[in-house]
A = this chain, B = another copy of it.
Amino acid sequence: MTAMTDPKPAPATKDSTAKGAVSAHMSAATQADHFRQVRRARETETIEDYVELIADLIDETGEARAVEVGRRLGVSSATVNKMVARLQQLDLVTAQPYRSIFLTDEGRAVAEKSRKRHHTIVEFLLALGISEKTAWADAEGLEHHCSEETLEAFERFSKTNNVGK
């Protein structure tokens, strides 16, 4: 028995190209680069969220306890515990058993940077006319996927369009 073959696909004519299709706009290599960038960003987003939150807790309440980190992240304290171990490996925090969590200098730097970026996004969304609720919700995800160039554009826009304030 001879091998089955797919119906030979009509080799898309130029004008059958789907408008909006990403692949129509760049080479496979370029597209792959973009996906790789996104995957790299994904590796750090959890870390950024934890560190930023720890800084917030320290600055607002005087200390960061694992329970509270878990509460605000919507995650169990077992999960927080494991993550704190990783953050220690990465030299972003220090912690002793049963004590609260502290930021290293490096951790503090990551936190400040994340916090600033977070703030930039929220301000931008608000300047665009997004509701408070949505702005804060969307910013939590968007913040990890903005290049410097985009962040700068967002800042410029907010500066120009700071409606009421």
Contact = CB atoms under 8 A, between A and B. Distances in A.
A162 interface: no
Number of copies: 2
Contacts of A142: 142, 145-146
Contact of A28 (B49, B72, B118, B153): B72
A60 B23 contact: yes
A134 interface: yes
Interface residues of A, number: 74
Contacts of A99: 4, 6
A57 interface: yes
Contacts of A28: 68, 71-72
Nearest to A117: B20
A40 B84 CA distance: 22
Contacts of A33: 74, 137
A100 B4 CA distance: 12
A12 B147 contact: no
Interface in A27-80: 28, 30-39, 41-42, 49, 52-53, 55-63, 68, 71-75
A24 B138 contact: no
21 contacts: A6-B100, A9-B62, A11-B62, A12-B61, A18-B59, A20-B115, A24-B56, A24-B60, A31-B73, A32-B71, A33-B137, A34-B136, A34-B140, A35-B72, A36-B74, A37-B140, A39-B74, A42-B42, A125-B150, A125-B153, A138-B150
Given A17-B60, A74-B32, A22 B145 contact: no
